[in-house]
Structure 1
Amino acid sequence: MKGSPRDEAVRLVEACRREVAERLQEVDELALANQRRVLEALWAERVTASDLQGSTGYGYGDEGRDKLERVYARVFGAEAALVRPQVVSGTHALRLGLFGVLRPGDHLVFATGAPYDTLEAVVGLRPAPGSLAEWGVSHTVVPLADGGSVDLDGVRAALTPRTRAVFFQRSRGYSDRRALSVAELEVSFRALRAERADLVLMVDNCYGEFVEDREPTHAGADLVMGSLIKNPGAGIAPTGGYVAGRAEWVARAADQLTAPGLGAEAGPSLGVLRLLYQGLFLAPHTVAQALKGSILAARVLECLGLEVSPRWQEPRADLILAARFGDPDRLLAFCQAVQGAAPVDASARLEAAPMAGYEDQVVMAAGTFIQGGSLELSADAPMRPPYIGYLQGGLTFEHVVIALEEIARAYLEGASAAARTAGTTPEPKPANAPGKR
């Protein structure tokens, strides 16, 4: 006998949870390896309680800040790192790296297709004052090959004598493609190094930190950049971003953040060092919680009839789960269900709206403790065909389980209402539905 939509939703999520149990155990092993890497970096730098205090004003002589950056460098397998609360977003971190490396007359190649929406104005793909294009830096976008891999022949063909840097975006962003693993990036790095040893290999690392047991800098990237209100801040860093890689390029990024001649010497930590240290310490575990939630969500949404990427059995290279809706109303309803399961602003009514940095209207389900903190459970999407929603985060696996129950309940209630109108009876696909790989 069938129960209420809520009862059906709970049963569905529990059945899916049993089905993906082996994959969840694999993520626990990953978390252990990454936790060891972070702890060993903290031990090597001899972090003490006094390092957590921070500085004001100019920030000169802030040993706790400088030590945190050395810890990050060790964790990322890099020569140096810049980790600052003055970096307001991943886009800001990317801008620091790009403007640090590139000079007027240089040429930049995007090896993974068009960059994330908010970077378009930075580069000049969309006209904007102060863009790289306005400063005389040209660019070429090389689409990914069939299957979503880097088109190395296309990248090689795009290189010119003026090409200074090749840029890789690890995550799918708002594009309909898979994320790239560190191993895949390493193949590209080696091929391009053999072609041109002078190229600067840059990686947008947002959503990828601690999803694997290596970072792109371990595999040969010259510079990686990301946000502390995503993976490495573990949901408790109140703001900030990082740049890590070769010391020369990190120093140039620091000059962009402050001023030439000041670089990393200036910049107060403003009382947030404890949260930044603690966030990094917690990041391997918290990212694993979100990663397990993403695997379970993939199976649950698939059972509800949605096309998702990546599927639950497939390897992960970032935290983002894409679900194809094909209809703006269905996409908005999904985001509303995610918002309704949030710990903050659960009663908010969502609407798509213009947002700084985006060309399309965007809907964002983000009932988060940190504004924009997308390691917390959130969903967002540009309102454009084919109307794909992007789900990420979850500070605890338990929250994701409960949220998926609410999402499934809302879906089943909506499907039941539609079926009553059409005179049919909907059935979710069972958790052991044929066709899964």
Structure 2
Amino acid sequence: MMQRWLTLSREAEERISGRLRIVDEIVERNQEKVIRAFQKHKVSDFHFAGSTGYGYNDRGREVLDFVYADVFGAEAAIVRPHLVSGTHTISAALFGCLRPGDELLFVTGSPYDTLHKVIGQPGDGTGSLSDWGIRCKEVALRPDGSVDWDGVAAAVTDKTRVFAIQRSRGYDWRPSFTVEQIAEMVRRIKRLKPDGIVFVDNCYGEFTEAQEPPEVGADLIAGSLIKNPGGGLASSGGYIAGRSDLVELAAYRITAPGIGGEVGAMLGTTRSIYQGLFLAPLLVGQAVKGSIFAAAVFEDLGFETHPRWDDPRTDLIQAIRFPSADPLITFVQAVQKAAAVDAHVVPEPWDMPGYEHPVIMAAGTFIQGGSLELSADAPIREPYIAYMQGGLTYAHVKLAVRQAIEDLESKGYLRVT
């Protein structure tokens, strides 16, 4: 197997070398952007000091918000460890912008599974958007994965306030949306409703391209620090960035009206959040390289992948389709087996909170759920698709791909020639 693997790996890397150089160029541009933001705001060692209680006059926290705003091309930002997940962060942004009687329109189809409970049902008693009298609608994507603009135009009413875009594919077999495509969405939405708010779920997309959605007109974005921008060091948290008035409304939701972002002890996390942001462009580049490599190898072995190795990249996620549940589960378990942490644990499908089908997750990570680190997950439903993301080092992703091939072959699901 070793010699066959070396041949397979070498041939794949020769083929993808040009694409890997493009990733390196994006890393350099984003690294400079981050460093320039640090320099502009004169980040110093004293900014890393902790705060307690209310966290009044926490200059490190205040400057961190300024740095994030500049990095993402936004007027303002709020970055906090108290945001427990991407879903929590997105929820805070949406509740901040919307009021009873407003409409929320998802123009990129059904949102990621964990947002379904946030949307909820009228009268569900959970405090969901629908429970608060906010109507939520979605327009399915066209068969080719593009936005159905006729459907969007038909869905818009005088109550439509927020237009939501999910940048990544989620659990769908479709292309993720590039920043250029998001720019076109913004233009079209603003023609339909000039005062409409364009919100982008930016999870998994940060630093995969040289621009971010606010730089092309998005009004508000949100993401998780245990994904791309945390650089593998942030132990928790999320960020919201965009128009200053909308960020302020979101901050009122995170804390309370009248308090917003003025308080909030950082609980000893400030240094790791700063340093994670500094490292993020490089580590995102490592993960993207790993995804390109994985796509090339599995395509060579006859599997369908999305995106293909030579497609443009706008997020970390690499989807691989399997013929049935058993090889899908084997693949996810192999990713766990290749981890440095909890490699001895064998993941199994289970009814995970927030998901509509049993899900299997490989997460041998230093930060629990940290998906800039190498992880993989899959809903156990047809079509049987594994979603691999992350990888703090390219070498780790290569090791996981090799482990998966070995395990698939040993169980008779694959024959490597």
TM-score grouping bracket, smaller chain normalisation: over 0.9
| 1:98 counterpart = 2:118 | no
Moved more, 8-17 or 140-149: 8-17
Q: Counterpart in 2 of 1:219?
A: 216
Q: Counterpart in 1 of 2:379?
A: 382
Write the distance in 2 (CA, Å) between the matches of 1:326 and 1:383. 12
Contact 1:236–1:279, Cα closer than 8 Å, also in 2: yes
Alpha-carbon distance change, 335 to 125 in structure 1, aligned in 2, over 3 angstroms:
farther
Alpha-carbon distance change, 367 to 125 in structure 1, aligned in 2, over 3 angstroms:
farther
Runs of 4+ in structure 1 over 2 Å off: 125-128, 411-415
Q: Counterpart in 2 of 1:320?
A: 317
Shift, 1:326, TM fit: 3.2
Query: TM-score, normalized by length of structure 2?
Result: 0.97
Query: TM-score, normalized by length of structure 1?
Result: 0.93
Write the distance in 2 (CA, Å) between the matches of 1:326 and 1:199. 43
Q: Counterpart in 1 of 2:188?
A: 191
Give the match's secondary structure for 1:360: coil
| 1:393 counterpart = 2:390 | yes
Alpha-carbon distance change, 323 to 128 in structure 1, aligned in 2, over 3 angstroms:
farther
Q: Counterpart in 2 of 1:331?
A: 328
Contact 2:327–2:408, Cα closer than 8 Å, also in 1: no
Write the distance in 1 (CA, Å) between the matches of 2:315 and 2:335. 20
- CA deviations on 1:410-431 (whole Å, 9 max, x unpaired) are 223233xx69xxxxxx444xxx
Give the match's secondary structure for 1:296: helix
Shift, 1:195, TM fit: 2.2
Q: 2:111 is matched with which residue: 103, 111, 115?
A: 115
Write the distance in 2 (CA, Å) between the matches of 1:183 and 1:151. 17
Superposition pairs of residues 248-267 of structure 1, within 5 angstroms: 248-267=245-264
Write the distance in 1 (CA, Å) between the matches of 2:147 and 2:96. 25
- CA deviations on 1:22-56 (whole Å, 9 max, x unpaired) are 11111001100000110111110010100011211
Write the distance in 1 (CA, Å) between the matches of 2:416 and 2:23. 31
Q: Counterpart in 2 of 1:231?
A: 228
| 1:13 counterpart = 2:9 | yes
Superposition pairs of residues 61-140 of structure 1, within 5 angstroms: 61-124=57-120, 129-140=126-137
Write the distance in 2 (CA, Å) between the matches of 1:9 and 1:195. 53
Shift, 1:302, TM fit: 1.2
Q: Counterpart in 1 of 2:357?
A: 360
Shift, 1:7, TM fit: 3.0
Write the distance in 2 (CA, Å) between the matches of 1:339 and 1:302. 22
Write the distance in 1 (CA, Å) between the matches of 2:199 and 2:359. 27
Q: 1:26 is matched with which residue: 3, 7, 22?
A: 22
Write the distance in 2 (CA, Å) between the matches of 1:128 and 1:296. 47
Write the distance in 1 (CA, Å) between the matches of 2:258 and 2:148. 39
Shift, 1:9, TM fit: 2.2
Moved more, 380-389 or 13-22: 13-22
Shift, 1:399, TM fit: 1.1
Q: 1:150 is matched with which residue: 147, 152, 158?
A: 147
Write the distance in 2 (CA, Å) between the matches of 1:220 and 1:270. 34
Superposition pairs of residues 166-177 of structure 1, within 5 angstroms: 166-177=163-174
Alpha carbon RMSD of aligned pairs, Å? 1.3
Q: Counterpart in 2 of 1:403?
A: 400
Write the distance in 2 (CA, Å) between the matches of 1:266 and 1:232. 22
Contact 1:342–1:367, Cα closer than 8 Å, also in 2: yes
Write the distance in 1 (CA, Å) between the matches of 2:300 and 2:275. 37
Q: Counterpart in 2 of 1:182?
A: 179
- CA deviations on 1:65-112 (whole Å, 9 max, x unpaired) are 010000000001101001000001100110000000000000111000
Shift, 1:298, TM fit: 0.3
Q: Counterpart in 1 of 2:265?
A: 268
- CA deviations on 1:358-401 (whole Å, 9 max, x unpaired) are 12111000100000001101100111111110001000111112
Contact 2:373–2:390, Cα closer than 8 Å, also in 1: yes
| 1:302 counterpart = 2:299 | yes
Contact 1:79–1:246, Cα closer than 8 Å, also in 2: yes
- CA deviations on 1:231-272 (whole Å, 9 max, x unpaired) are 000111100000000011101111111111110011111111
Write the distance in 2 (CA, Å) between the matches of 1:326 and 1:412. 14
Q: Counterpart in 2 of 1:41?
A: 37
| 1:207 counterpart = 2:204 | yes
Contact 1:54–1:65, Cα closer than 8 Å, also in 2: no
Contact 1:324–1:388, Cα closer than 8 Å, also in 2: yes
Write the distance in 2 (CA, Å) between the matches of 1:89 and 1:46. 29
Shift, 1:11, TM fit: 2.4
Alpha-carbon distance change, 402 to 203 in structure 1, aligned in 2, over 3 angstroms:
same
Give the match's secondary structure for 2:129: coil
Shift, 1:357, TM fit: 1.0
Give the match's secondary structure for 1:145: coil
- Ranges in structure 2 where 5+ consecutive residues have no aligned partner: none
Sequence identity percentage:
52
Write the distance in 1 (CA, Å) between the matches of 2:6 and 2:376. 21
Contact 1:309–1:321, Cα closer than 8 Å, also in 2: yes
Greater Cα radius of gyration, structure 1 or 2: 1
